[in-house]
């Protein structure tokens, strides 16, 4: 009986540890499946974000820039590597905001895309302000506006005209008219402090406070005008800013487009890349003068031409691709929308942020710089007034950008003696 009881007890006890072991095994397998699924999703996101762009060959410049900075390879090397590294990051910002746009809708998504597309310029401007390099702030923002209006838009019209060589491309000029009006208002706001300074040159010398106060007041007006433009774009006249629908297959292709990665994944990648852009932007701003002296290129040319080309990589690539697909309305929205945002939002924001930091930054960009801005705006407005486009218009805009670039290449202002480079704290006039 004793042995029989023992066998009976063993038979009852056996299923208990077996059941627990099965549960543990299933739990371990589920944990492994979750980890494997998360790892697989992460690797898939890396493939789509990093390797699905033609600029992925430039990504190694990011760690190289960090190494050059940490091991003191020299400021020109740090500047060059940081500038190269910013190019794919700026382009990927546009990709990530496009992914987010699938979840927010086309109008809000387009606004987010334009805002994040200008994130590189805004970050560089803020770091330059912190280091009191007003000339870098002004030149980089001015160059970004001119680059969007002439280089980005010009190359887009040229590529679109080449793809439709023997016919004209048509677009809805109402969106272009709204952006042109906003750009003309911004030009007026920049010309008034300049004209005020020119008028006061023959009058007894003042401490510069009237121009500074005028610039700050005008900056507030510019921000109000931009808010009104956003209300106009997003609420009352949103239909003017929606891309025109094409016929047949194009609509089917648009309907098939879906997000490549999830909304939260895109948001996390966006935050991570923004942090990296901030670090690289600080490297660029801190080493720009040494790079200028070593290469024999003026700070003006680097700030107006090189920095905006890097910062506008996303707008440039997207605008050209849409022009090739005969979607000029989107190309115009990207190029002119970005230029309007920088002129009417980023520039006055920098003036007000400088005010809070105790830095005297005005809207007087100088006679030559404001003249180039005015000619760029007028040339773009005249180019788009009839609602049609061909490759010759793109050639004209692009060549105009080449002429302006050559102008600033030969202009070599003394770094210490130029009024625009006066970087003193409050109490020293900064033009």
Q: Is residue 429 part of a domain?
A: no
Length of the chain: 431
Structure token pair of residue 82: 């940081």
pLDDT of 84 > 50? The answer is yes
Query: Percentages helix, strand, coil for the chain, rounded to the nearest 5?
Result: 80, 0, 20
In a domain, 188, yes or no: yes
pLDDT of residue 52: 78
The whole-angstrom separation of Cα 123 and Cα 275 is: 10
Q: How far apart are CA 29 and CA 35, in angstroms?
A: 10
d(CA 15, CA 2): 21
Phi, psi (degrees; rounded to nearest 5) at 241: -105, 5
Residue 392 lies in a domain: yes
| Residue-number span of the structural domain to which 299 is assigned | 31-200+208-239+261-410
- pLDDT tens per residue across span 18-76: 455 555 555 555 555 556 676 777 777 778 888 877 778 888 999 999 999 998 888 89
Check residue 253 and give its pLDDT.
Answer: 45
pLDDT for 424 beyond 70? no
**pTM of this structure:** 0.80
Q: How far apart are CA 132 and CA 425, in angstroms?
A: 8
Q: What is the pLDDT of residue 298?
A: 86
**256 CB-near residues (< 8 Å, 6+ apart):** none
φ, ψ for residue 169 (rounded to 5)? -90, 145
User: Is 417 domain-assigned?
Assistant: no
Given this model, what pLDDT does residue 313 score? 75
Local confidence band at 416 (pLDDT 50, 70, 90 cut-offs): very low
pLDDT in tens, 289-347: 888 888 888 888 998 998 888 877 777 877 888 888 888 888 888 888 889 999 999 99
Is the pLDDT at 94 greater than 50? The verdict is yes
Q: Are 407 and 395 in contact (CB under 8 A)?
A: no
Quickly count: other Cβ atoms within 10 Å of residue 431's Cβ.
Answer: 22
Residue 430 lies in a domain: no
Distance CA(90)–CA(306), nearest Å, equals 14
> Burial of 207 by CB count in 10 Å (0-12 exposed, 13-18 middle, 19+ buried)?
exposed
pLDDT over 80 (residue 98): no
Tens of pLDDT, residue by residue over 160-219, are 888 888 888 888 778 888 889 999 999 999 999 999 888 765 555 445 578 899 999 999
Give the SS3 label for residue 338.
helix
pLDDT of residue 104: 67
More confident residue, 348 or 430: 348
Q: Model confidence over 213-237: pLDDT tens digits? A: 999 999 999 999 999 998 888 778 7
Beta bridge partners of 169: 389
DSSP structure class, residue 170: E
Which residues in 381-400 are b (16+ Cβ under 10 Å) and which e? Answer: bebbeeeebbbebbebbbeb
Cα–Cα distance for residue pair 217/122, rounded to 1 Å? 21
Domain total of the chain: 1
DSSP-derived secondary structure for 3-48: HHHHHHHHHHHTHHHHHHHHHHHHHHHHHHHHHHHHHHHHHHHHII
Distance of alpha carbon 134 from alpha carbon 123, whole angstroms: 14
Query: 170: which strand partners?
Result: 388
Over the stretch 99-121, which tens digit does the pLDDT of each residue have? 777 776 655 665 666 666 677 88
Mean pLDDT for the chain overall: 79
- CA 301 → CA 140, 284, 413, distances in Å? 9, 14, 10
Domain with 169 in it: what CATH number? 1.20.1420.30
For the cut 70, the answer to whether the pLDDT of residue 123 exceeds it is yes
**Contact partners, residue 55, CB within 8 Å, separation at least 6:** 87, 88, 91, 313
CB atoms within 10 A of CB 358: 10
Which residue shows structure tokens 């002429």? 403
Secondary structure element (H or E) that encloses residue 201, with its range:
none
Q: pLDDT at position 174, please?
A: 82
Q: Is the pLDDT of residue 5 over 90?
A: no
**Residue 248: pLDDT above 90?**
no
The predicted pLDDT at position 200 comes to 63
Q: Is 418 inside a domain boundary?
A: no
Instruction: Please say if the pLDDT value at position 381 is more than 60.
Output: yes
Give the pLDDT score at 395: 94
> What pLDDT does residue 425 have?
37
Instruction: Give bridge partners of residue 388 from the DSSP assignment.
Output: 170
pLDDT for the residue 138: 93
Band (pLDDT 50/70/90 cuts) for residue 431 is very low
In a domain, 215, yes or no: yes
Please give the distance of CA 210 from its chain centroid, rounded to a whole number: 33
Q: How many CB atoms lie within 10 A of CB 227?
A: 12
Place of tokens 């809207």: 363
């Amino acid at each position: 009986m004793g042995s029989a009881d023992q066998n009976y007890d063993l038979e009852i006890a056996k299923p208990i540890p077996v059941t627990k072991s099965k549960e543990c095994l299933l739990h371990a397998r589920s944990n492994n499946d979750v980890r494997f699924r998360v790892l697989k999703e992460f690797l898939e996101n890396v493939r789509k974000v990093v390797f699905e762009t033609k600029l992925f060959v430039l990504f190694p410049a990011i760690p190289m820039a960090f190494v050059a900075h940490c091991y003191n390879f020299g400021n020109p090397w740090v500047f060059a590597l940081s500038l190269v590294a910013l190019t794919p990051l700026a382009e990927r910002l546009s990709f990530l905001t496009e992914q987010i746009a699938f979840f927010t809708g086309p109008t809000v998504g387009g606004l987010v895309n334009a805002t994040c597309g200008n994130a590189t310029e805004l970050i560089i401007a803020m770091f330059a302000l912190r280091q009191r390099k007003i000339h870098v702030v002004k030149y980089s923002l001015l160059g970004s506006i001119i680059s969007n209006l002439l280089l980005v838009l010009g190359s887009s019209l040229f590529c679109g005209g080449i793809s439709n060589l023997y016919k004209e491309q048509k677009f809805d000029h109402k969106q272009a008219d709204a952006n042109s009006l906003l750009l003309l208002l911004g030009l007026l706001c920049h010309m008034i402090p300049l004209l005020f300074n020119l008028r006061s040159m023959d009058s007894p010398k003042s401490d510069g406070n009237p121009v500074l106060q005028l610039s700050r007041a005008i900056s507030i007006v510019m921000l109000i005008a931009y808010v009104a433009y956003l209300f106009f774009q997003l609420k009352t006249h949103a239909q003017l800013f929606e891309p025109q629908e094409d016929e047949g297959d194009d609509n089917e292709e648009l309907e098939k487009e879906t997000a490549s990665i999830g909304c939260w994944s895109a948001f996390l990648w966006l935050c991570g890349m923004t942090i990296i852009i901030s670090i690289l932007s600080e490297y660029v701003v801190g080493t720009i003068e040494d790079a200028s002296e070593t290469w024999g290129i003026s700070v003006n040319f680097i700030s107006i031409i090189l920095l905006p080309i890097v910062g506008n990589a996303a707008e440039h690539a997207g605008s050209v691709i849409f022009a090739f697909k005969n979607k000029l309305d989107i190309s115009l929205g990207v190029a002119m929308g970005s230029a309007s945002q920088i002129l009417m939002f980023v520039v006055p924001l920098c003036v007000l942020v400088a005010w809070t930091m105790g830095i005297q930054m005005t809207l007087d960009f100088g006679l030559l710089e404001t003249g180039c801005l005015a000619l760029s705006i007028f040339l773009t407005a005249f180019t788009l007034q009839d609602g049609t486009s061909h490759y010759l218009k793109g050639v004209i805009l692009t060549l105009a950008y080449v002429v302006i670039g050559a102008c600033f290449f030969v202009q070599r202002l003394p770094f210490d003696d130029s009024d625009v480079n006066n970087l003193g704290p409050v109490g020293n006039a900064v033009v």
